[in-house]
A and B are shown apart, each in its own frame.
Chain A
Amino acid sequence: MAAVMPDHLHGEHHGPTGLMRWITTTNHKDIGTMYLVFSFIMFLSGGVMALTIRAELFQPGLQVVQPEFFNQLTTMHGLVMVFGAIMPAFVGFANWQIPLMIGACDMAFARMNNWSFWLLPPAATLLIGSFFVPGGATAAGWTLYAPLSVQMGMGMDLAIFAIHIMGVSSIMGAINIVVTILNMRAPGMTMMKMPLFCWTWLITAYLLIAVMPVLAGAVTMVLTDRHFGTSFFSAAGGGDPVMYQHIFWFFGHPEVYIMILPAFGIISQIIPTFARKPLFGYASMVYATSSIAILSFSVWAHHMFTTGMPAAGQLFFMYATMLIAVPTGVKVFNWVATMWRGSMTFETPMLFAVGFIFVFTMGGFTGLICAIAPIDIQVQDTYYVVAHFHYVLVAGSLFAIFAGAYYWLPKWTGHMPDERIGKLHFWCSIVFFNITFFPMHFLGLAGMPRRIPDYALQFADFNMLASIGAFGFGLSQLIFLAAVVKCVRGGEKAAARAWEGAEGLEWTVPSPAPHHTFEEAPVVK
């Protein structure tokens, strides 16, 4: 850990300046910032794709893009948002906050940390650059189902390599987080005294290490089917297209928890702060998170009820999936019980946190409805599913990311975020979010398939409404940019404990947090 050895320049940056500072940095705060900036750029790129999709779907008929390019957009929107925006954003939070929360001086493997970030820009370049190769980007859906993905042009190969590189980055980031949490906690901070954000990330990191290699295997098999004459997913050569789906979703289902567990952690930090009351059931939250993670490995085939598995298979995966509602319910009940008889204030982080609970839970209910195999067979691959996973991924993960950003911006920048701008961002986001995605439930129930560039006339009015909402939601995110830029440049000075009810080690260091913190470990009683 030479890079974080204490020296005379406590609290000050030292070493190269300018661009080289960012390329060579091994400081967890610098790397966290780079992750967050990177994920915001990817969020805007994926957002532009989403808005192009919604522009095409504004009216029936083909007006803006042709079907092939439309499929490229839906595919790349999914890949960019999942691997480029949501996952790196949470790693950014982990980098900034985990050392501060457990009283460590930095991440365990500081140089590997630098490398795991700097793998991402080349991966993103491959992914987004694939739009410009002959045949365009892959158009097989973000799930990249074989044999359709075997048919694609060279954009598919670029996507496969991008996924490999991002997977390597995620695994290294996850190992770093596990080792940091297990080895570098301040004296006296036992596992069961650790902030919940660290707990949820520890469990998430194990999920990442377990499933990213599975995804790498799946896309590598697609690669060899494409170019080297293997037949993993081709019946003509003795393979099975459905096997791809089993392998993909064995990664894919834990992946959804990879994208939501850190969000649960952020919300579990924010609610007690602004309710000025300890979390109702700390231990049960830890157990609930662990049970969700364990169950997530035995539910993957609920994405595949229409592939035609035997009745016993359908029933097993239906029951296992329904069980996930229990620990998820425990979490929601805990948050509500924490708020009960608190002394609440509603600054922007709390608004996003309460908004998260409200809207995420709606996504949880539709998830339960989708768990029922016969109903799922009706709504699978329709807009109902699109509505469901945007309720948990946008109103869930993304809102938690916003909540966390507003919550910790004072620690990162030394300034309080502008409450007026933050509240405007919240209200625009939640209103436009619901205008966009609520009508999609009706579209799906009434029979509109997903991933289609054009649709039958009975779906016209809800699609128009959803498109209007989408543009409103997209533009609202520029308010977030304005809020962050303003906060970085100046504003009300933040105290070390920026929020009145905030607890935890990160609030014991000055705001903004100096370049090096906890060079001598604090003692937790």
Chain B
Amino acid sequence: MSLAGRHAVAVSLVIAAPALQAQSRYNLQPPATGIAAQIYDMHTLMLLICLLIFVIVFGVMFWAVIHHRKSKGAVAAHFHENTAVEIAWTVIPILILLGMAWPATRTVLEMKDTRDPDITIKATGYQWKWGYDYLQGEGQGIRFVSNLSTPREQVDGKATKGEHYLVEVDNPVVVPVGKKIRVLMTAADVIHSWWLPAFGVKQDAIPGFIRDAWFRADQEGVYRGNCAELCGKDHGFMPIEVHVVSQEAYAKWVADRQAAMAAAASAGAREWALAELVEHGAKVFAANCVACHQADGKGLPPAFPPLDGAAIVLGDAPAQIEVVLKGRPGTPMAAFGALLSDADIAAVITYTRNTWSNKTGEAIQPSQIAAARGK
């Protein structure tokens, strides 16, 4: 209990000194939005009220524990039942609760008000990554997939862990500072949850349904969060990273993204060489497939089947293209048609057909993927 006591003191000291807020490891993350600030203050208030009640109730209890002992000659009194006292300790807590409910109600209503956003972004949870589509506002049409970028060697202890171990991604979400951003959450397979602690946003992403939340970040910076709903094997490995940037930097990012998407579209129109496909496919595989099918292609049976020597990979290409585009319902195999470009899918299929012991020598062209999509 002494440790608990010491921590309790530490908590109250941290609360008493807002200057410590930024470095605090004992409290909620420093808020970056108005809602998160309200939650932070509400939590502080609640904690103080609870501490006060705690001190009073246990002050009384420990006074009794120390003084009303048989060994100190205490003789038991025989009072019991006292209506006035019992009414008091029922009514006073109700009044305290009313005081707590008031600010909470205001914040709930504000959190729910997702009207009139400047930018709307759809976040889709996949096992185990996030896909983002900018649906409305500046940057409309931008879409990308955001994967964990921490190398596997760091997880396995074969390399030193970086500063942002497990909370860094290859493609972060970028938003302008001071704008109302509405996020629509949904999922493709199981329930995920899009959580950014500094924004005070946590909303489950439910397959087949769309929910929403909003934030308006006050300061530029990089904010990190995690998936907060158990979603299978790599639930701990699908972080969220949001860069809040100035209006100019955002405009530049949008232009760059749009140029990159145009380049990717033209890549799908030309013929690719086998070596080029395998090389690009290795990258796509590492970002999208390796978590289940594993780097050695052996998978993790029975949940995650092998690709090395698999009939589906060594058989007719159209069957494999069909599985990659549409997924396998009821299993974690996602429909990658919605996630990846024709060139990416062609490359990764070519890679699986020409790696490990698989040596088909076939090059699958983006045009084949486009044709399969058209069917």
Q: Would B211 and A308 count as touching, CB distance under 8 A?
A: yes
A224 is an interface residue with CB less than 8 A from chain B: no
Binds A, one of B20-28, B259-267, B271-279, B362-370: B20-28
CB distance from A388 to the nearest CB of B (A): 12
Which residues of A lie under 8 Å from residue B7 when comparing CB positions?
438-439, 442
How far is A361 from B232 in the complex, measured between Cα atoms in Å? 34
CB distance from A241 to the nearest CB of B (A): 5
Selected contact of A62 from candidates B70, B156, B191, B300, CB within 8 Å? B156
How far is A310 from B79 in the complex, measured between Cα atoms in Å? 49
A148 is an interface residue with CB less than 8 A from chain B: yes
Mark interface residues in B216-235 (1 if CB within 8 Å of A CB, else 0): 00000000111111111111
Query: How many residues does chain A have at the interface if contact means C-beta atoms less than 8 Å apart?
Result: 99
**Known pairs A62-B155, A71-B230, A325-B93; A454 contacts B109 (CB<8 A):** no
How far is A241 from B161 in the complex, measured between Cα atoms in Å? 37
A73 is an interface residue with CB less than 8 A from chain B: no
Q: Would B228 and A342 count as touching, CB distance under 8 A?
A: no
A458 is an interface residue with CB less than 8 A from chain B: yes
Most chain A beta-carbon neighbours within 10 Å: one of B46, B90, B161, B208: B208
Q: Would B208 and A339 count as touching, CB distance under 8 A?
A: no
Q: Would B232 and A71 count as touching, CB distance under 8 A?
A: yes
CB distance from A305 to the nearest CB of B (A): 9
Q: Would A374 and B26 count as touching, CB distance under 8 A?
A: no
B332 is an interface residue with CB less than 8 A from chain A: yes
Q: Would A241 and B206 count as touching, CB distance under 8 A?
A: yes
Binds B, one of A116-124, A211-219, A279-287, A474-482: A279-287
CB distance from B135 to the nearest CB of A (A): 18
Which residues of B lie under 8 Å from residue A362 when comparing CB positions?
4, 54
B166 is an interface residue with CB less than 8 A from chain A: yes
How far is A283 from B86 in the complex, measured between Cα atoms in Å? 11
Q: Would B233 and A365 count as touching, CB distance under 8 A?
A: no
How far is A329 from B53 in the complex, measured between Cα atoms in Å? 10
A382 is an interface residue with CB less than 8 A from chain B: yes
Mark interface residues in B46-89 (1 if CB within 8 Å of A CB, else 0): 11001001100110110011001111001111111110011001
A326 is an interface residue with CB less than 8 A from chain B: yes
Q: Would B226 and A365 count as touching, CB distance under 8 A?
A: no
How far is A286 from B25 in the complex, measured between Cα atoms in Å? 42
Binds B, one of A17-25, A106-114, A134-142: A134-142
Binds B, one of A93-101, A198-206, A313-321, A399-407: A313-321
Q: Would A277 and B76 count as touching, CB distance under 8 A?
A: yes
CB distance from B372 to the nearest CB of A (A): 22
Selected contact of A134 from candidates B101, B193, B197, B302, CB within 8 Å? B302
CB distance from A79 to the nearest CB of B (A): 14
Q: Would A281 and B108 count as touching, CB distance under 8 A?
A: no
Q: Would B61 and A336 count as touching, CB distance under 8 A?
A: yes
Chain A residue at minimal CB-CB distance from B5: A434
Q: Would B74 and A326 count as touching, CB distance under 8 A?
A: no
**Known pairs A61-B154, A241-B191, A329-B89; A151 contacts B108 (CB<8 A):** no
Which residues of A lie under 8 Å from residue B90 when comparing CB positions?
326, 329-330
**Known pairs A150-B330, A336-B61; A456 contacts B166 (CB<8 A):** yes
**Known pairs A372-B104, A447-B225; A343 contacts B69 (CB<8 A):** yes
Selected contact of A236 from candidates B35, B46, B190, B329, CB within 8 Å? B329
Which residues of A lie under 8 Å from residue B74 when comparing CB positions?
341-344
Mark interface residues in B185-200 (1 if CB within 8 Å of A CB, else 0): 1000111010101001
Query: How many residues does chain B have at the interface if contact means C-beta atoms less than 8 Å apart?
Result: 106
How far is A462 from B7 in the complex, measured between Cα atoms in Å? 12
How far is A362 from B5 in the complex, measured between Cα atoms in Å? 12
Q: Would B65 and A339 count as touching, CB distance under 8 A?
A: yes
Which residues of A lie under 8 Å from residue B203 when comparing CB positions?
306, 308
How far is A452 from B104 in the complex, measured between Cα atoms in Å? 30
Which residues of A lie under 8 Å from residue B17 when comparing CB positions?
none
Which residues of B lie under 8 Å from residue A60 when comparing CB positions?
161, 165-166
How far is A61 from B81 in the complex, measured between Cα atoms in Å? 57
CB distance from B148 to the nearest CB of A (A): 11
Which residues of B lie under 8 Å from residue A235 when comparing CB positions?
206-209
Q: Would A454 and B236 count as touching, CB distance under 8 A?
A: yes
Binds A, one of B37-45, B137-145, B172-180, B249-257: B37-45
Q: Would B208 and A374 count as touching, CB distance under 8 A?
A: no
| Chain A residues numbered 306-361 whose CB sits less than 8 Å from any CB in chain B | 306-308, 310-311, 314-315, 318-319, 322-323, 325-326, 329-330, 332-333, 336-346, 354, 357-358, 361
Q: Would A326 and B93 count as touching, CB distance under 8 A?
A: yes
How far is A279 from B76 in the complex, measured between Cα atoms in Å? 12
Q: Would A343 and B68 count as touching, CB distance under 8 A?
A: yes
How far is A419 from B86 in the complex, measured between Cα atoms in Å? 36
Q: List 23 A–B pairs whose Cβ atoms lie within 8 Å, in order of A's numbering.
A: A68-B300, A71-B232, A134-B302, A135-B302, A151-B330, A241-B190, A241-B206, A242-B206, A307-B206, A308-B212, A330-B86, A330-B90, A336-B60, A344-B70, A346-B69, A372-B42, A374-B107, A381-B228, A438-B3, A445-B43, A454-B236, A454-B237, A456-B166
Q: Give 5 nearest A-B pairs by CB, closest first.
A: A235-B208, A452-B236, A308-B211, A343-B76, A341-B77
Known A378-B36, A452-B226; further 16 A-B contacts with Cβ < 8 A: A67-B237, A71-B232, A151-B331, A241-B207, A241-B208, A282-B80, A308-B206, A314-B108, A329-B93, A333-B89, A365-B50, A368-B100, A369-B50, A382-B228, A449-B226, A457-B165
Task: Give me the interface of B with A, judged by CB distance under 8 Å.
Answer: 1-4, 7, 24-29, 35-36, 38-39, 42-43, 46-47, 50, 53-54, 57-58, 60-61, 64-65, 68-71, 74-82, 85-86, 89-90, 93-94, 97, 100-101, 104-105, 107-109, 111-112, 154-157, 161, 163-167, 185, 189-191, 193, 195, 197, 200, 202-204, 206-209, 211-213, 224-237, 300, 302-303, 329-332
